[in-house]
Each structure stands twice: as C-alpha cells, then as structure tokens.
Amino acid sequence: MTIRFVTSNAGKVREAREYLDDDVEQINYDYTEVQSDDLGEIAVTGAKEAFAETGGDDPVVVDDAGLFVDALGGFPGPYSSYVEDTVGVERVWNLVEREENRRAHFRCVVAYYDGETAETFDGAVPGRIVAPRGEGGFGYDPIFEHEGETMAEMSTERKNAISHRGRALAKFADWLTEN
C-alpha cells in the first residue's frame, strides 16, 4: 500500500519513511488548518479535505504537531508553525532563557483517512528548552532537549524511538497491521 503523506514538511516524511514498511509519498497540498486547540480535529479535517481534493484512492495521512512550553502557558502550541516562520526558534529560546522552569513537550497527531475510515494516533514527548544545539532534525529540534541530547543532535532513528511523532507512528503502524 502507498500512504500519501500530505505535508509541506520533508522532515516529517523522512521520519515516517524510516518508521513505516509501506511506501510513503509526499503530497504538497495546502489543506485548510481549522482554528482549534485540538490537534486531532485540525488533522482529521485536513485529511478529509486532502483526500477529496487531490483525487486518487490511496489513503492520506496528515500530521499536526506542536511545541508546548510550560512557562509560557503552552505557547506556541497550535501556533508553532506561525511562530517558527515569524519570530524563529532562537527567540523562543530567548523567551524561556530566564525562566527557572524550562519544561516543555511536543505533541503530534497523525490522522488517517481512506475515504471511509478516519482514525487518529497521538504521541507526546517531555523535554526542556535549551540554547540551540545540533544540525539534524527540523523546526524546534535544536532547542528541545530530551535525556541530555537535543533532538537536532539525534539520528532520525533515535528521534523516532523517543519522539512524539515516533510514538504516534508506532500506534499507526500497529493499527495498519491489524486492519
């Protein structure tokens, strides 16, 4: 089976390819991101729209993720993409730099839709915000540290083993095998 991963983010596709046995094809379709605090709702709505608008029979997957910083009341959360594009990750570190509590977590929801069945799979990973380190990964990876390493310092395999997306992909892969 081919899974059509609807995203503009090649980093997500790289991680999914390393995780899933199925073929993963990137589809650059810009689905509507509904305004919601619920990553699952955003992803399912996007998956249904992408399936309807792009044609084709292969199932689609949409992945909605975000960084939630405790000391900032969960910011940037659902606005993570906008914040990365406008202020950038270095300045998110600057916002947290003087805080005593630098805890944060990443969340990810993978939504699957095949024209009939819609399913979501989620994952989260705790960590802390640090000064940028590392060249790998993408997005907020350089400022997100988990067990002593930033996600940008990890191999894709290591990131998948512990990350929000890896956990969501693991549930998704189990579900695919059972269905």
Residues labelled catalytic: 64
Sheet with 144-146: list strands edge to edge. 23-27, 2-6, 60-69, 103-113, 118-129, 144-146, 149-150
Binding part of the chain for Na ion, among 12-20, 62-70, 127-135, 139-147 by CB under 5 A, reads 62-70
The answer to whether 64 contacts Na ion (rule: CB under 5 A) is yes
**Cα 147 from Cα 168, distance rounded (Å):** 20
Q: Say whether 140 counts as a known binding-site residue.
A: yes
Sites for ligand ITT among residues 20-79 (CB under 6 A) = 63-67
**Cα 127 from Cα 61, distance rounded (Å):** 26
**Residue 120 Cβ vs ligand ITT, minimum distance, rounded to whole Å:** 14
Q: Say whether 9 counts as a known binding-site residue.
A: yes
The answer to whether 9 contacts ligand ITT (rule: CB under 6 A) is yes
The answer to whether 167 contacts ligand ITT (rule: CB under 6 A) is no
- Residue 66's binding partner, choosing from ligand ITT, Na ion, none, with beta-carbon cut-off 5 to 8 A by kind? ligand ITT
Torsion of CA 135, 136, 140, 145, to 10 degrees: -90
Q: Of the two residues 58 and 132, which places its CB atom closer to ligand ITT in the complex?
A: 132
The label of the residue with tokens 């044609």 reads 55
- The maximal CA–CA distance of the chain, rounded, in angstroms, is 51
The answer to whether 141 contacts ligand ITT (rule: CB under 6 A) is yes
Using alpha carbons only, give the angle 112, 14, 36 rounded to the nearest 5 degrees. 45
- Interacting residue ranges for Na ion, rule: CB under 5 A: 64
Annotated binding-site residue numbers for substrate: 7-12, 65, 138-141, 159, 164-165
